[in-house]
Amino acid sequence: MNPAPPVTTARTWARILDSVPGAFVAIEGIDGSGKGTQAGLLVQAAERQSLSTSLFSFPLYDDNPFSIAIGDYLNGVFGTVDEVHAELAGLLYACDRFHARPVLEQAIAAHDLVVCDRYVASNLAHQGAKLAGDDRERLIRWLTEVEFGEFELPRPDLVVLLDLAPTAAQSLVSR
């Protein structure tokens, strides 16, 4: 059974905002699923309700050393994506969020709504997909401990997964 395609309207986001005021929301999904679009719509809906907002997109792709290393990783400097072990790749993404933690925590304290386009769950999914069975479970436990334990990243109040068929997402990316 296939789930219904996601349909998000301003009314949908308004209902979500009513249910989680003062929220930290992470929007997750595969490339091309509309994370950035939906994050922007959620922020716009909140601002129409006179809520203060802050929007983050991970990885940061700024000039911090972890963002630079992520760019190198994605561009094959360290080998292909599949050649770099999931722990090492996952650690780069975790460190990028750790670098942003002070600003993220300030935003959560100062705003009614903080939205992240990708967060910890993306790291777990992308890196976990490289492994199977017990190795995958161990990696997910380890990355979760690194991000929320050792790095003390804030946990989202709500994680929204945009579920889109890969073929549909690929067609959106190629536009």
Q: Which is nearest to 113 in space by CA: 12, 39, 29?
A: 39
Query: What is the predicted pLDDT for the residue at 13?
Result: 62
Return mean pLDDT, the chain.
Answer: 88
Q: Percent of the chain beyond pLDDT 70?
A: 87
Decide if 55 is inside a domain.
yes
Q: CB–CB of 113/41 below 8 Å?
A: no
pLDDT greater than 60 at residue 78: yes
Structural domain includes residue 167:
no
Q: What total of structural domains would you count in the chain?
A: 1
C-alpha–C-alpha distance, residues 34 and 157, integer Å = 20
Asked if the structure places residue 2 within a domain, the reply is: no
Range name among 41-45, 101-105, 149-153, 163-167 with the lowest pLDDT average: 163-167
pLDDT, greater one: 80 or 173: 80
Q: What is the largest CA-CA distance in the chain?
A: 47
Measured distance CA(37)–CA(49) in Å, rounded: 19
61: in domain: yes
Q: Which domain holds residue 107?
A: 10-160
Which has the minimum average pLDDT: 35-49, 88-102, 113-127, 135-149?
35-49
pLDDT for position 19 = 61
Strands 53-57 and 113-117: parallel
The answer to the question of residue 81 being in a domain is yes
Sequence-ordered strand ranges (E) for the chain: 23-29, 53-57, 113-117, 158-162
Contacts of 62 (CB under 8 A, 6+ apart): none
Instruction: Confirm whether 170 is domain-assigned.
Output: no
Domain annotation covers residue 72? yes
- Tell me what pLDDT residue 1 has: 39
**How many Cβ atoms from other residues are within 10 Å of residue 29's Cβ?**
21
Q: Is residue 66 part of a domain?
A: yes
Which of helix, strand or coil describes residue 64? coil
- Residue 15 CB neighbours (<10 A): 11
